[in-house]
Amino acid sequence: MKVQNIEEEIIQTKNHLAFLEKSLKEIQKKCDHQFKRNDNFERCLKCNKAEALYY
């Protein structure tokens, strides 16, 4: 694999990752969360969003 190809693939992967993260945030923003409580955090059963619990 050539360096240029690798660099090209890194850029494409980063763009793809940014797209995925944005999609996930969008889903979690719209989600009607249903949290299930764990030890020190709670996680939404629908979108998997986790939130830390503070006492």
CA dihedral 44, 46, 49, 52 (to 10 degrees): 0
Task: Give CA 2 to chain center in angstroms.
Answer: 31
Site string for Zn ion, 5-24 (x = CB under 5 A): --------------------
Residue 33 found at the interface with Zn ion (CB under 5 A) = yes
Residue 25 found at the interface with Zn ion (CB under 5 A) = no
Compute how many residues bind Zn ion; rule: CB under 5 A.
6
Element (DSSP H or E) covering residue 15: helix 3-30
Kindly list the residues in this chain that would bind Zn ion in the complex (CB under 5 A).
Answer: 31, 33, 44, 46-47, 49
